[in-house]
Amino acid sequence: MRVLFFGDIFGRPGRRAVASVLPDLKKRYAPDFIFGNAENLAGGRGVNRKTFHEMLDMGFQAMTTGNHVWDNREVFSILEADRRLLRPANLADPADSPCPGAGHALYESKGKQILLVNLIGRVFMDQSEDPFAAADWILESAPAGVPIFVDMHAEATSEKYAMGWYLNGKVAAMVGTHSHVQTADERLLTEGTAYITDVGMSGAFDSVIGMEPAPVIQRFRTKRPQGFHPALQNPGVGYVVVDIDSNGKALSIERVRHTVADDLLADERDTE
């Protein structure tokens, strides 16, 4: 089994960059499953129906999210109706106000099955429930013999590494998202779990994690509010390819980051 997973896909530049490379990647890798993080899909903040279905039309089987999951109100109705969009499994879920959607789901493609899990970290992030406990109860009820692929959306590299070792041998892959900066530490852990701290971003590489640099720099210098806009220049993609054997163990993980043609992007302001 082969899984193609894109890191945070940022706004229209990210969506168009992915669209430009995906036909070739399908031919080159013949993936059984295509997943990606939709955290910043619509204008850099959250996901809406239009952008979500745009990715499904490209061939994505499902997408994960993270701390910006609630930034667009359309996400509530998407999560309730469509399990192809996940929210972190360890978000607060009080009995009197249940959390919409699901944090994990089983997907089928080409006669194969995989369980995709979405977790969120707690270090330097908004408060959430224990991701390690959430992983435990998901794995306890996971169907036997089905490979498990985990997206850990977290800020701290140490927290992602801790989760990787915690899940070592229990899941086929644990990949990190959120920082938008691809790390060069992809490896197979000792018990057959593919790991990378962060898959990186698909979007404008001449940016500050997807946004135009100047307002971000001014914000850092003055600590005063600024209007942030998705950058357009030097679009590119970041993804990993994970091969998984019949026992649900990873055989390999390949990390890729490269630019695509600048003429893919229009000059108009990206508002979605």
User: Which residues are catalytically annotated?
Assistant: 68
Cα separation values, 89 from 117, 134, 186, 256, 261, Å: 7, 7, 24, 27, 37
Q: How far apart are CA 55 and CA 19, in angstroms?
A: 8
Of 116, 124, 247, the closest CA to residue 175 belongs to 116
User: Could you give the strand order of the β-sheet that contains 104-109, starting from the edge strand earlier in sequence?
Assistant: 104-109, 112-120, 148-153, 173-177, 194-196, 187-188
Q: Which amino acid is it at 73?
A: R
